[in-house]
């Protein structure tokens, strides 16, 4: 449902679905972060701290989350946050996979 609302441009509806999920999994976390980035809700992406929240409950960010977070950081020109996200990507061993996704994301 999160992805459906995201594709249609309804980020707030996707957020309501996300909020209703009691036990979020990696798919729901990734869906919400990507939803905000793809719908140019960059402030929301960073404001709601999905990246931090998912780490607190034990999920490691994947390459799609890193790419979406970096897209938001670039759009908002918060390069210090972007550097922190980039550093975390290196620490979690997503280096090779990360760069291929990042390169694809930056082309668009």
Token pair of 12 as six digits = 């707030």
Boundaries of every domain in the chain: 2-107
**Residue 1 scores a pLDDT above 80:** yes
Q: Over the stretch 30-64, which tens digit does the pLDDT of each residue have?
A: 999 999 999 999 988 887 778 788 888 888 888 88
Q: Over the stretch 7-38, which tens digit does the pLDDT of each residue have?
A: 999 999 999 999 999 999 999 999 999 999 99
Q: Do the Cβ atoms of 63 and 101 come closer than 8 Å?
A: yes
Q: What is the pLDDT of residue 32?
A: 93
Q: What is the pLDDT of residue 98?
A: 52
Q: CA–CA distance from 34 to each of 9, 56 (Å)? A: 12, 19
What is the distance between the alpha carbons of residues 37 and 24, in angstroms, rounded to a whole number? 19
Q: What is the pLDDT of residue 27?
A: 93
**Residue 108 scores a pLDDT above 50:** no
């Amino acid at each position: 449902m999160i992805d459906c609302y995201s594709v249609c441009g309804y980020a707030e509806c996707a957020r309501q679905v996300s909020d209703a999920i009691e036990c979020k999994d990696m798919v729901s976390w990734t869906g919400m972060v990507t939803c905000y980035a793809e719908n140019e809700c960059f402030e929301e992406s960073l404001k709601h701290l999905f990246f931090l929240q998912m780490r607190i409950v034990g999920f490691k960010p994947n390459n799609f989350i890193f790419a979406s977070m970096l897209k938001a950081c670039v759009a908002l020109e918060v390069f210090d946050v972007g550097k922190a996200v980039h550093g975390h990507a290196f620490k979690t061993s997503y280096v090779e996979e990360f760069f291929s996704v990042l390169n694809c994301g930056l082309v668009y």
